[in-house]
Amino acid sequence: MKNKLRLLHMYPGVLDLYGDSGNVEALKYRCAKRGIALEVNAHELGDSSERLIENADIIYLGGGADYEQQQLADDLTSMKGAIAAAYERGAFLLMICGGYQLLGQYYKDSNGKRIPGLGLFDYYTAASDKTDRCIGNIVVETELDGEKYKVIGFENHGGQTYGVKTPFGRTLCGSGNTRGGEYEGFMESGKTNVLCTYLHGPLLSKNPKLTDYIIAKCAGAESLKKLDDSLEEKCRAVLLKRLLNE
């Protein structure tokens, strides 16, 4: 098992809405409790980060405002080869909201203009009417190493993502990829090193099993030392009761 992991946080200075930096905090915290040091590096607009991408165990992109997302699209596509290579060698891609959209074929904005994505995966995203954003609490049932797990978060996106054949999970409450849809996010079948989702919250704050799943995959660990998650479990119980009447 690796005792050191490197996370590359893409554009933390630009894409920092919705508390997504909390995902890094959650990973760092739960790594540290297992004696794993998490080194966090940043790629900002215009940096040359080939080495950082090459060495990364986790590549992370959060969500941001539309304006900022447009600004970085060119910068990101210039690194397409490096990111694809990192993915091939097994680096974990954790992509939230804007990050999720940018990895697909393209994003079509409300004027019909296509902003090209990285094209790593087949899906694509189209803006819906301004009045038709998917906003609210969301619960997604996914499967982690064969075990069902309910992932709790918050979604806030105007884009509707189509053409996903292997979603992250089934939507139990909320919308997911499309308004009122049945499925949320993207995971590639046969691969365990990518997770694309619309879930903020931040995603990893209330879903410790998912956080540990990512850490275990990256560290090459069969299992991780159990932590005291009583606070997390209480938080989950309150929300699942409220959202799903469980």
Partner 1 sequence: MKLYQMGLIALGKALNALCRLSGHDAGNFPGLVLWSIDKNYLKCFSVDCPIIAVTGTNGKTSVTNYLSRIFSMSGKKIITNSQGNNLDTGIGSLLLKSCDMRGRVHADYLILEVDESHVPQVFKHLKLDTLVSLDFFRDQLDRNGEVETLILKVQNFLKNNVNNNVLNADDPNVVRLCPKGKNAHYFSVEKYDGATDELYEAGEGKFCPFCAHRLEYDYYQYSHIGRFKCPNCGYGDVDPEVQITSLDFENNKFKINGETFSSKFMGIYHLYNLAAVYTTAKLYDIDSKYIKKAFATFAVNNGRMELFRLNGAELMLNLAKNPVGANMTLRLLNREKGEKELLFVLNDNVADGLDVSWIWDINFSVFNNVTKVVTSGTRAYDIALRIKYSGFDEGKIKPIPDLNKAAAEILSTPGKKFAIANYTAVQPTRRALKAQIQRGERK
| Distance, CA of 200 to CA of 90 (rounded, Å) | 24
Q: What is the nearest approach in angstroms of partner 1 to the Cβ of residue 65?
A: 4
How far apart, in whole angstroms, are the C-alpha atoms of residue 48 and residue 191? Answer: 28
Catalytic residue among 9, 43, 157, 200: 200
Bridge-based pairing of strands 58-61 and 4-10 is parallel
Q: How far is the CB of 242 from partner 1 (least distance, A)?
A: 9
Beta-carbon-side half-sphere exposure of residue 7 (alpha carbons within 13 Å)? 24
Backbone CA torsion sign across 25, 28, 31, 32 = negative
- Burial classification of residue 70, based on how many CB atoms lie within 10 Å of its CB (0-12 exposed, 13-18 middle, 19 or more buried): middle
For partner 1, the closer of residues 26 and 164 by Cβ is 26
Judged by beta carbon, residue 222 or residue 228, the one nearer partner 1 is: 228
Give the residue with the Cβ less far from partner 1, 191 or 241: 241
Nearer to partner 1, 18 or 213 (CB): 18
Q: How far is it, in rounded angstroms, from Cα 204 to Cα 208? A: 6
How near is the Cβ of 120 to partner 1 at its closest, in Å? 26
Q: What token pair was written down for 76?
A: 């990101």
CA dist 69 → 65, 91, 93, 126, 172 (Å): 6, 23, 18, 14, 29
Look at residues 137, 157, 134, 168 and name the one whose alpha carbon lies nearest to residue 244.
137
Q: Which is nearer to partner 1, 35 or 163 (CB)?
A: 35
Residue 218 falls in the annotated catalytic set: no
Given 9, 31, 43, 97, the catalytic residue: 97
- Binding residues (CB under 8 A) for partner 1: these are 13-14, 16-22, 25-26, 29, 65-67, 71, 135-137, 154, 156, 200-202, 205-206, 228, 231-232, 234-235, 238
CB of 90 to partner 1, least distance (A): 27
Answer yes or no: are the C-beta atoms of 96 and 23 closer than 8 Å.
yes
Closest to partner 1 by CB, 65 vs 126, is 65
Measured between alpha carbons, how far is residue 181 from residues 82, 123, 143, 188 in Å? 33, 15, 19, 19
User: In angstroms, what is the minimal distance from the CB of 72 to partner 1?
Assistant: 12
Q: CB 115 → partner 1: shortest distance, Å?
A: 17
Q: Quick check: is 9 catalytic?
A: no
Question: Which of the residues are catalytic?
Answer: 97, 200
